[in-house]
Structure 1
Amino acid sequence: MELIPTKIEGLLIIEPRVFGDDRGFFLESWNREIFIQLGLDLNFVQDNHSRSGRGVLRGLHYQQPNPQGKLVRVVSGRAWDVAVDLRAGSSTYGQWVGLELSARNKRMFWVPPGFAHGFVSLEDVTDFLYKCTAPYDPANEHTLAWDDPSIGIDWPLEGMDPQLSTKDKLGKRLGDVEAFT
């Protein structure tokens, strides 16, 4: 596996080793010992799987207290995945990183606690998997506005009207959320 740093400290793109031939491919998406060797001593307690149609936008979600770190990947389709830094005192507070995750590129994205996270599905059927370091805690889940102009996320929405849940339509602006301490 290869770790690729992003412009925001802590957010990492992970390129797994893929072994392929004319029959298909094999990859290890999680191996505790390898991740520890790479400096990521993570304890996952929950796995999630979501399926979304083209244009479904989920997020930007975070839990506070009880924040989750998430190791995310797409196993069918394509998604534009985004994380926004909400760590108090961070020199990159309010900045974002986005990247395409797809069944084809097989990349993973490590989103540590202290970030809001979301994605938009770019294909008709996109299956998104994520391993979490803390259980889902609906009483402490919050939503950052996906379209907050002070953040300025460049969502690839050409020809799409984003489909949002009710809670995602009610996301708060960056200036109205409490930073992680």
Structure 2
Amino acid sequence: MNSAAVEQITITPLALPGVLLLRPLTHRDSRGAFTETWRASTYRALGLPDFVQDNLVHSKACVLRGMHYQTRKPQGKLICVLQGAVQDIVADINPRSAHFGQHVSVQLDAQAGDQLYVPPGYAHGYYTQSNSAMVLYKCTDYYDPEGQGGCRWDDPLLALPWQLKGAPTVAPRDEKWPPLAAQ
């Protein structure tokens, strides 16, 4: 294991167990910038699992995606923003958890290059804060449409602190998720 590679990443544990904010080292010069966004051996040495699928999402301004989770094949996710900015929220929806109903909210933007690791079992969503955003996330398991789940992005039990600029654009599927109290 190349310990110098691990030293290239600053890790900040967040308030929910296993949720991490990662900042890979960016090298800047007169031409622009270079960042190594992922190296299997480095992330494995940090204790993160292997990833098997990448997803790329383009969103317009004021689009809110979430709150999503998987029931049959829970996915861990490593999220980064390639263009624009989003507010990303992770919520503990496990009623047996000591952290049930708690959440963390972080700003992710292409300029800073931060990454967010969301372990399996949490609900996750984000809101586009810029004119558009391109979000890339690596997943620890393959998407299973039969195991998709969700809860309301505006669930009163969670009281998520969305920084909305007017009414968000939400997919019909996301509007139909029940609140946690009804699940």
TM range (shorter): over 0.9
Q: 1:150 to 1:88 in 2, by over 3 A?
A: closer
RMSD of equivalent CA atoms: 1.1
* Kept after mapping to 2: 8 A contact 1:143/1:170: no
Identical positions, percent: 37
Structure-1 separation of matches of 2:14 and 2:77: 16
- Paired residue for 1:164? 170
Structure-2 separation of matches of 1:71 and 1:125: 20
- Paired residue for 1:43? 50
* Kept after mapping to 1: 8 A contact 2:89/2:124: yes
SS across alignment from 2:17: coil
Q: Within the alignment, does 1:85 sit opposite 2:56 as a pair?
A: no
Higher mean C-alpha deviation, range 79-88 or range 145-154: 79-88
* Kept after mapping to 2: 8 A contact 1:143/1:167: no
Structure 1: which 5+ runs fail to align? none
* Kept after mapping to 1: 8 A contact 2:76/2:141: yes
For 2:144, give the aligned amino acid: D
SS across alignment from 2:78: strand
For 1:12, give the aligned amino acid: L
Structure 2: which 5+ runs fail to align? 1-8
Q: Within the alignment, does 1:173 sit opposite 2:147 as a pair?
A: no
Give the CA deviation at 1:88: 4.6
Q: Within the alignment, does 1:34 sit opposite 2:34 as a pair?
A: no
SS across alignment from 1:10: coil
- Paired residue for 1:139? 146
For 1:3, give the aligned amino acid: I
Q: Which runs of 4+ in 1 moved over 2 A?
A: 86-89
Q: Within the alignment, does 1:153 sit opposite 2:160 as a pair?
A: yes
